[in-house]
Amino acid sequence: MDSSDFSARRRYPAVAAVAALSFFIVATVLGVAGGVVAVVYMQGQTLESLDGFDYALPALGQALPNTVTYTLPLAVGLFVSFWGIAPLRPGIGLAGAVGRTLVAMLVGLIIATVVYAAIVIGNNQSALNPPPGQEIDNRYILLVVAGIAQNAWTTFADTLGLALAAGLGAWGWLVRNRSVPVAPGAAAAPVESAATDTV
């Protein structure tokens, strides 16, 4: 295996971790801020008044865990994909970076949806598992499924831009700081191979 083959197969776990962590921090901050503002304004207050801040702290306690419930699984999915499923590499090109970021977003969305579905099902055990002699209301099941699907779509729409920013930012850093990895037994090359990967 020569140095170009080694470069084409190299993975960047540290870069994947930084991209996923950056996404998690920004998405969580924006989600919590939006949740707090929404709760405060629903109470007919504004953050410009002291009364508004009285509502802000309890709202923060509710918004933070609710936001982390979907931002953390998304970030885990981004890291897993950027590192192992569709790794970001400096030679994949802009289209490849966008494609791999979309794949990573899909992986994260699947994980986040599974987590959300588990929470919803766990919170509705009495309705989904009625006592003996009672039947499950199929309309309620449809509502649960529709709610999970709507949450998945909302999560995708709300975080796609941040995921693209994280993925393209990580890829751009790799391109700017590209180095030539030396394969075992191979001499160092002055310039990295320009070979490209596909999604």
Give the per-residue SS3 of 114-170.
HHHHHHHHHHCHHHHCCCCCCCCCHHHHHHHHHHHHHHHHHHHHHHHHHHHHHHHHH
Contact (CB, 8 A) for 81 and 103:
yes
Q: How confident is the model at residue 122, as a pLDDT?
A: 78
- Give the Cα separation of 25 and 89 in Å (integer): 23
The 3-class SS string of 23-44 reads HHHHHHHHHHHHHHHHHHHHCC
Q: CA 151 → CA 52, 64, 117, 144, 173, distances in Å?
A: 28, 17, 10, 11, 32
Q: CA 133 → CA 75, 115, 186, distances in Å?
A: 43, 31, 73
Element (H, E) at 54: helix 50-80
Burial of 118 (0-12, 13-18, 19+ CB in 10 A): exposed
Among 28-32, 86-90, 146-150, 187-191, the range scoring the smallest mean pLDDT is 187-191
Predicted confidence (pLDDT) at residue 55 exceeds the cutoff of 70? no
Quickly state the pLDDT bin for 131 (edges 50, 70, 90): low
Residue 9, CB-side half-sphere exposure with 13 Å CA sphere: 8
pLDDT digits (tens, 9 = 90+) for 40-51: 666 555 555 545
Contact (CB, 8 A) for 2 and 79:
no
Q: How confident is the model at residue 151, as a pLDDT?
A: 85
Among 2-16, 103-117, 176-190, the range scoring the smallest mean pLDDT is 176-190
Please give the residue that has the higher pLDDT: either 128 or 154.
154
Does pTM top 0.75 for this prediction? no
Q: How confident is the model at residue 133, as a pLDDT?
A: 66
Please give the residue that has the higher pLDDT: either 63 or 101.
101
Please give the residue that has the higher pLDDT: either 48 or 96.
96
Q: What token pair was written down for 137?
A: 């209301």
Q: What token pair was written down for 11?
A: 């993975």
Q: CA 73 → CA 27, 87, 107, 113, distances in Å?
A: 12, 18, 9, 9
Predicted confidence (pLDDT) at residue 150 exceeds the cutoff of 50? yes
